[in-house]
Amino acid sequence: MLRLPDGRLLVAAKARSVTRLAAFSRSFGLSANILLSAPRVFTRYVVDVAGAALADYVQSGPAAIDPDLSAGSGAPARYGAQVLVLCSVIALIAAAYEPLLLDLAFAALFIAITALRLVALTALVEEPKSERIPDDQLPIYTLLIPLYRESRCLGGLLRALRALDYPEAKLDIKLLVEHGDAETRAALAVLDAPSNFETIVVPQGSPRTKPRALNLGLAAARGAIIGVFDAEDRPEPGQLRDAVQAFLRGGPQLACVQARLVIDNRADSWITRVFALEYAGLFDALLPGLSRCGLMFPLGGTSNHFRTAVLDRVGGWDAWNLTEDADLGVRLARFGYRCATISSSTLEEAPNTHRAWLRQRTRWLMGYVVTWIVHMRRPVRLHRELGWRNALVFHAFIGGVPISALMLPIFVGGLIVDGLSSGWLVFDDWVGWLELALTGTNLVLGFGTAMAIAAIGADRRNLTGQARWIALVPLYWLMSSVAAWRAVWRLIRAPHVWEKTEHGLARTSASAAGPGFRRSAPGPSRPRRARGRG
């Protein structure tokens, strides 16, 4: 409801309420003072007349609840980058003068990460099958699809969303388009979309990020549950029903369910092949295990489904954080909520060139650093709210992933220099042997568990034919180190600038027949015409 400049009320009423509202206004002689509007017309009007106020609202996010919870309050990114550079300098000095200190610190970090991985793997079980809920018992479901320069993906997106097994009358789909994206807006204008699709133009403002657009979608959402998809996503048709069933089983403290992301274009290059194994290990092994243990975990940026009321309570998404999904997972845990995984899958397109992969991984690592810095503003309060088990996950994954990526080349370089100067296996005292033992333990724990998780995920995803690419995991990690150091540089120079990942450039598809791909054998990749430069 909105009061117009002439004093009348503009009301967006749901279909069931229109008749009752009209009768009420006639009974009390208010017909001339109330204007009825369709929800999408109401939203378009609000965006047009209150664009500046909306821009302020969507960028505030959790800062409206507590400024300490937002990366937009203060300068955590630049400060965090300076801290990381200082720590790296200290590590270099330690590696040069007393490598044992570096080995001990690195071993402690890797042991913590490895322990959590092993705990997660021991908890892996098959998730229960969902029972089909009658259509009349399903809640209204809002899907938020942020779009920016995504005209190449719109046709496939429309087909995937229309294939969802959910009553159209209860499906509220919001296509969130940036103000200056004329190409996508023009493509949407000629798109033959059903009536439950609504295009919302995000008001001009900064930062121009995905979470900022999602906050606008949250404000306009009609559903009791919100799902988030990217333009290139192809979810299984039954995913929304699986999510509803999970919420019914999980109780009111279950705030979010994460579907499993599967790389569709894995045959494009060696990068996409290893990326597919990384995702299989993460979404088919590690995250389901952490979920089963009742631990928090960093959410994926797509195919996650939320209770709308809970999102409102925790402040929505942080528009200033480039890894809004990981931040939101931590914030939900701090507010006492749980996240879980479901077995439904979503096909996703991976970057298939070194440059595109580097830009995306840089953005992710930037977001992890900022997330760690933001939530560590008040460490005592953080650890009290998370509890020691979730705090261990927070430090091991949110802080440990970027730190280990930064330290890996320093660690390996120190090992090589030390080996060349001491004759490798020739040591004069026990310190040298201890350093060698710690070095070997770190490498075995780090690379070994990463490869093991990728192998287990590949087996659960039926990607066993791709297992030989696991041997490239060490090289993949070294590339992640390049991205980590690039992230430090960008945190200093442009901490809130979103480096867009171009989609619609895939050259192959493992499931060209459609999204019915749960635990299916990949088979030979089917080439398709490239839709852009790879």
**Nearest C-alpha neighbor of 214 from the set 93, 72, 324, 82:** 324
Tens of pLDDT, residues 437-455: 676 677 777 778 888 888 8
Query: What is the β-pairing status of strands 338-348 and 234-235?
Result: antiparallel
Q: What is the DSSP track for 321-345?
A: -TTHHHHHHHHHHHTT-EEEEEEEE
Query: Would you state the structure tokens that stand for residue 388, as one six-digit string?
Result: 């020691």
> What pLDDT does 534 receive?
33
Query: Would you state the structure tokens that stand for residue 349, as one six-digit string?
Result: 């397109």
Query: What is the β-pairing status of strands 2-3 and 508-509?
Result: unpaired
* Confidence tier at 81 by pLDDT (50, 70, 90): low
Edge-to-edge strand ranges of the sheet holding 234-235: 197-202, 171-178, 141-147, 225-228, 304-307, 254-263, 338-348, 234-235
Furthest-apart CA atoms within the chain: distance in Å: 98
**Angle at CA 224, nearest 5°, toward 375 and 162?**
105
* Confidence tier at 430 by pLDDT (50, 70, 90): low
Q: What is the DSSP secondary structure assignment for residue 66, as one 8-state letter?
A: -
Say which CATH class 38-534 falls into: alpha beta
Tens of pLDDT, residues 242-267: 999 999 999 999 999 999 999 999 98
Mean pLDDT of the chain: 81
At residue 131, what are phi and psi to the nearest 5 degrees?
-90, 140
Is residue 376 within 8 A of residue 395, CB to CB? The reply is no
pTM: 0.83
Residue located via tokens 């389901």: 288
**Mapped to the 3 state alphabet, what secondary structure does 72-122 carry?**
CCCCHHHHHHHHHHHHHHHHHHHHHHCHHHHHHHHHHHHHHHHHHHHHHHH
**Domain extents for the chain?**
38-534
